[in-house]
Structure 1
Amino acid sequence: MSSTSVELNLSAGYRQAQRALAAWLEQGVRAARQSAFAARAALGLLDPSERGRLARWLAWLVVADSYRGDMGLAARVRRLDGGLHLAMEDALARLPMKTVNQAPQNHRLSA
């Protein structure tokens, strides 16, 4: 049986790093200090292609946060890992321009 959809095989290390980053992002800034160590340790286990995937994931999160008016994610990532921040900024620049350049204030805030 052949599948027409692409199956993404992510390594255990990548999944661990993504979970650690997600946990770190969901916490408030003060509580995140402890989980930052776990996130940094998980990031250290990734190969360059996995770091690139994670950077693209973070870039999309930055876009989503910008629509909610939250601009703090990029600064948090920069404080966590400068190299990951640079990769995320590069990935952000490569996202479809209509998505990235659309101003959040153009969206209706109420029904």
Structure 2
Amino acid sequence: MSSIAELRLSQSFKLAQRSFAALLDGRHFDASLAMAARVRIAALDKLDLGRLTRWLAWQSWVRNHQALTRIERVDQRLAASVLHARSRLPADGRPALSGNPRRTA
């Protein structure tokens, strides 16, 4: 038995993540994929919606330049949340250390 906590993701979160991944990976905007993503968002609770928002913030930072526009075409409130979460991401992709780092546990 492991003492490490395992992150358990809900099925609705996994499906929403897959829907948005397909939407963001496509060459062109696909309205049917956007509708599928919109349906998946409706099934999320607040915790999963927050997880999805943070995941989309990272995806919009590392994927194609149209990712945020595509998210906005699915849901404008979600796009605003993603933009807010994206503004809190570290500039170089790594967490910033605040002050002096601790040398012991």
Q: Which residue identity does 1:2 align to in structure 2? A: S
2:103 is aligned to none
Query: Corresponding residue for 2:6?
Result: 7
- Looking at structure 1, the residues matched to 47 and 2 of structure 2 have their Cα atoms a distance apart, in angstroms, of 27
Q: 1:89 aligns with which of 62, 75, 83?
A: 83
Which consecutive residues of structure 1, in runs of 5 or more, have no partner in the other structure? 101-111
Greater share of residues in helix: 1
Partners of 1:27 and 1:71 lie apart in 2 by 12
Paired position in structure 1 for 2:17: 18
Q: Which runs of 5+ in 2 are unaligned?
A: 95-105
The number of aligned residues is 94
Which of 56, 59, 62 aligns to 2:57? It is 59
The normalised TM-score by structure 2 is: 0.78
Residue number in structure 2 paired with 1:106: none
Q: What is the aligned counterpart of 1:34 among 2, 24, 32?
A: 32
Deviation, 1:98, is 3.8
Q: Distance in 1 between matches of 2:92 and 2:62?
A: 13
What is the SS of the residue equivalent to 1:39? Answer: helix
Q: What TM-score, normalized to structure 1?
A: 0.74
Once the 2 structures are TM-superposed, how far is the Cα of residue 11 of structure 1 from its aligned partner? 0.6
Q: Give the deviation of 1:99 after TM superposition.
A: 3.0
Identity across aligned pairs (percent)?
A: 37
Q: CA RMSD, aligned part only? A: 1.8
Matched position secondary structure for 1:99: coil
Deviation at 1:89, TM superposition (A): 1.0
Contact 2:23 2:70 in 1 (8 A): no
